[in-house]
Amino acid sequence: MKIRLSSLRAVSLAAVVLVAACGKKADAPETQAPAGTTDLPAASSLQVSDIDLGKRLSANKEVEGMTDDFGVRDTIAASVKVDGSATGATVTARWMFEDGQLVEEQNETISPSGTARAGFRIMKASAWPTGKYKLVVMLNGQEAKTEEFEIK
C-alpha cells in the first residue's frame, strides 16, 4: 500500500508539472522580428524593379535603343519600371555628375496597379562634360535604385 501511494503521488506530481509547463508555453509571446527590423508601411509593396537608359523614349515611356554610353550632344532618357499598387506615388529622377554634383532633378506622379513606367529625359543646349554620371531613382522620397552611365 505504501508503494502504491508513493507511485500515485509521483504520477500526480508529474501531471502537475506537465500541465504547468504546457500552460507556460501557451502563455509565451509570439515570436518577434529580429532586433533592428521594422514593419514597413503598405506603400513598401511598391518598388522600382528596373531602370533602362537610352537616347529616346517611346509613347509608352519605354527606352528605344538602350545604352549606358552617350555622346556630348545626346539626349539622355530613362525609363523607370515600378511594380506594385499605389495612388499618387512620386518617382524622382536625380541626375548626378561624377563628383556628386546635382545636374537636374525631375518628378513624376504615378498610380500603378501592377506595373507602370515613369519616363525622364535630360538634354543640354551646349555639350555635356565628359565623365561618369549616375541616375538615382527615388520612390516617395526614399532611394530605390541607381544606374550609372558615361558621357564620352
Q: Residue 60's CB: how many other CB atoms inside 10 A?
A: 8
Quick: pLDDT tens for 80-137.
Answer: 999 999 999 999 999 999 889 999 999 999 999 999 999 999 999 999 999 999 999 9
> All domains of the chain, ordered by start, with CATH?
46-151 (2.60.40.10)
Q: Report DSSP letters for 4-19, one per residue.
A: HHHHHHHHHHHHHHHH
d(CA 128, CA 105): 16
pLDDT tier for residue 20 given thresholds of 50, 70 and 90: very low
How far is Cα of residue 124 from the mean position of the Cα atoms in its chain? 31
What is the pTM for the complete model shown? Answer: 0.70
**Region of residue 100 (phi > 0: left; psi between -120 and 50: alpha; otherwise: beta):** left
What percentage of residues in the chain have a pLDDT greater than 70? Answer: 71
Beta carbons of 128 and 149 less than 8 angstroms apart: no
